[in-house]
Structure 1
Amino acid sequence: MSDFQAPKGVPDYLPPDSAQFVGVRDGLLDSARRAGYGDIELPIFEDTALFARGVGESTDVVSKEMYTFADRGDRSVTLRPEGTAGVMRAVIEHGLDRGPLPVKLCYAGPFFRYERPQAGRYRQLQQVGVEAIGVDDPALDAEVIAIADAGFRSLGLDGFRLEITSLGDDTCRPQYRELLQDFLFKLDLDEDTRRRAEINPLRVLDDKRPKVREMTADAPVMLDHLSDAAKQHFDTVLAHLDALGVPYVINPRMVRGLDYYTKTTFEFVHDGLGAQSGIGGGGRYDGLMQQLGGKDLSGIGFGLGVDRTMLALKAEGKSVGGTARVDVFAVPLGEQAKITLAVLAARLRAAGVRVDLAYGDRGIKGAMRAADRSGASLALVAGDRDIEAGTIGVKNLATGDQVDVAADGLLAEVLSRLNRA
C-alpha cells in the first residue's frame, strides 16, 4: 500500500474508465461548439469576494462549502465552486462585453465544494458549462437548454427529464419575497432556517429535510406571481422549446442553489441516481454582470455534471468512449527491429493511427499477450532477420492470420486494412 491516497471525495479516472470520462466531457462540449460557443479556460482559484458577491452569501455554496484560504500574500482566495462568476469576471476584465453580442462561451474542468462525499457528489466535481451573455431573448434561453438536451442525447442518455420554471424579475420578486416571508415567519422554524428566511426566503423552499418540506408544502410559488413581462418571457421560452421538440416538465417549486438566477431556471434530473438525481442545470442571471462591476447585461448558462452523467449512463447500462487504446501494436524481436518498428510507429501516428510498442525486450509470447490486451486490431511482428529481408509481419489479432508485407509498403497496407475495418 502507498503512503498516499487521493483526498476524500476526489475521484481518480484511470484507463479504461477514463475513456468514458473523456467521451462524456467531449460529447457534452461538442453540442455547444456546434452552436457557436467558443472555449474559455478559467483560473482554478479566484478572489474570494468574487464568489461571495456573485454566488450569494446566503447560499450553502458560499456559507458552508467553499475551499477558501489565504495565499502567501495574505490574500483570501477560493477554489472555484462554479463557473459563471469566473466567466463574468473574465468577460468584464477583457472587454468581451464591448464587442458583438451575445458573447457565447463554453468550458470544462474541475470545481470544488466541501460537502459530504457520496455517489455522484464529490468535493472535486467535473463540469461542462456554457454562458451566453448580453442578449435578453427567450429564444437564446431555449437554445441554451436545447444544447444541454442535445448533449445528453448525443451520449445515448434518454432516461432524464428537464424541469423548468421562472424565478421572476425585479418587478415581481420583491413583492413575492414579502409574501413568502409572511408565510414562512408563521411557521415553527429552527433558528438557522429562520435566519435563512430573513436573508433569502427562496432558500427555504430548497431545504431537503422532510419536516421543512412538509411545512412549506403550501407556500406560495413564484410562478403564480410573475409580472406580465416575466410571464411573457417564460411562455415564449416554452413555445421555443416546443418548436425545437425539447420535452419538459414545469416545476413551480424548483429553486436552484445559487442566488443569481432570475427568470428562466431549469434542471435536468435522472431518477436512476437516487436522492442525488440532478445531472445538470442552469438559468438566466440578469443583473449579475452589473453586480460584479460590469455593464448591466443579461446572461444565461448551465453547468452539466460529467461525474453525474457517467453515473446516469451506468444506470441505463450504457457507455461512451472507445475501449481500445490503440489500433496497432508493434512487436519487435531484436534491436534493429525495435528501431525500425519505432520509426514505422511514428509514421503511422503522424497519419492518425494509434500505435503502441512492446518494450522491455520481452519474448514473443509475452509480447503477443500484451498485443491482445491492448485492444489493437493489428500487430506488426518482426525480428532482425525480417528487417534485413525487408519484410514485416502483419497479424490480424481477431483471426490470427498473418502475412509478410514489404517494409516500404507497410504504411499503405495498414491504413488500407484499418479503413476497411
Structure 2
Amino acid sequence: MFRLTDHLKHPASRFYKEEDGSYTAFGAFMLLTFLLLGSTAIDYANAFAARTQLQNGADIAAHAALFTRDTEESSVAKQKALDMVETYMPASQYGGILNASDIRFGYLTRDNGTMSFEPDPDSKLAVEVRMERSELIGNGINTFLLKLIGLDVLDVSVSAIFERQVPGCTREGFFANEVVDLQSNNVFREGFCIHSDSQVELNQNNVFEKDVVVSYPTPSDLVIPASGLARNDGLEDAKSPHQYFGMDVDARIDKFHGDVQTTGGEFSSDILTTDIPKSVSTTGKSGSVDPSSFKTGGMHSHSCNGNKSMTFDAGTYSDFVLVTDCEIKFSQGTVLKDVVISTTNTSSRSFSAPSGLVIGDDDGCKKGGEVLLMTKGGMSNASKVEIYGSKIIAGGDVSFAANNNGVEGVSIVAGGRIDATSNSDMGFCGDEGVPGDYDPYVFRLAF
C-alpha cells in the first residue's frame, strides 16, 4: 500500500545524501577559483611589465644624472635626469613618477660584501634614483579582473644606483677600447692587468704570473695561435672573458685636461704651486725646449697654432705641468720625473720618441717621480722606452717597444689600440707605485 508518510519521512537526510547536481556546484566553485587565479596572473603580469618599464626609466635617469654631474652642478644633473625620464615616460601618460627630490648624489660604502648608499649632495661618485607608481600619488597601475575582489590599483616602486667605477686595468696595466696586440717573449708580473673592449691578440712564449688578468668581451675575442694556451705559460688562468666597459676616453681626457690647469679642480696636480700659466718659449725650427724652459711647480702653456711641433731636447725634466696643442717630440736621452704634459693635438704621433725615452723615476715603486702624459691623439715610441710608476692616456693608439726590464708600474689607457713589441718584462707596483690621481673611469649600474 502506498503511504505518503513513508516518502516524507526524514526529508533532510535524503536531501543531504542526494548526489545529483554535485558536479555543477563543484564546477562553479572551480570556475570561480580559475577566474580568480587567472585574473591575478593577468594583473600581476601587467604590473611586472610596468615595473620593468619603471626600472628602465630609473636606470636611464641615474645614468644621465651621474654622467652630467661629472661636469655640471647637481641641479643641472637632476634636470637632465628629469628631462630624460619625461621623454621616456611622459607625465601626461604615467603621472609624476620622478621629482628632483627623488634624485640623491652620494657614494657607496662596501663592508664584507655589503654595499650601502650614503647621501652627499656634493659628491660626484654615485647617484640614487627612486621612482614609483602608486595609488597615493595618483598614478598606480589599474587592474582588470582583480577589481572583482576590490583591488583596483597596484603599487610598484624601484630604485637605481649608478656609481663612478675605475676598471682595474686602468689602475695599472693596459686598457684599450680597440685591440691590445702583444707579441712574443714578454713576462707579465704578478698582478698585471690587460683589457680590451675589442680583442686581445697574443703570439707565443709569453709568461703570465699568478693573479695576472687578461680580459675581453667574449671568449672568441682572445686571438692566439692554435697552440696558444700551451705556448703562453699561465694564460689559461689569466684569461677572463665577459668583460666590457665602453669607456669614453675622450671625455675623460677633456675632464682631466681642464682640471690639471688649476689648483682647485677635482683632478688638479699636486705638482702645482701656482695655476697662473707661464708661456713657454721655443727656439729653432723644431720648436726646441730644454729643462731650463720650465719653472719648478709651475703651470706652463704653449700653442703651436696647429701646424708645428715642440721638441724636448735631451735632459732631465721635473716638477711642472704643461698644457699645449702641439705634437710633442722627445729627443733621445729625455728623462721625465714628476711631470704632467697634456696636449689636445689629435695626431697619431702627438707624443713620439725615436729611442731611449725614460718616463718616471726608477725608484723601486716608491711614491714620487710619477709622470702623466695625456693626449687627444696617439703615442708612438720607436724603441727602448722605460716607464716607471707612470700613466699614459691617449684618445688614439699607443705603440711602444719597451726596454728589457724597463717597465715597472705603468698604466696605459687608449681610446684606440695598444701595440707592444716583444721581449719586455712588465713589472707591477700596486697601489704605492702608480699615481691614482688620473684613473679614467666609467659609469656603471651598481644595483
**TM-score normalised by the shorter chain: which range applies?**
under 0.3
- Give the greater-gyration-radius structure (CA): 2
Structure number with the higher strand fraction is: 2
Greater length-normalized contact order (CA 8 Å, ≥ 6 residues apart): 1
Q: TM-score, normalised by structure 1?
A: 0.22
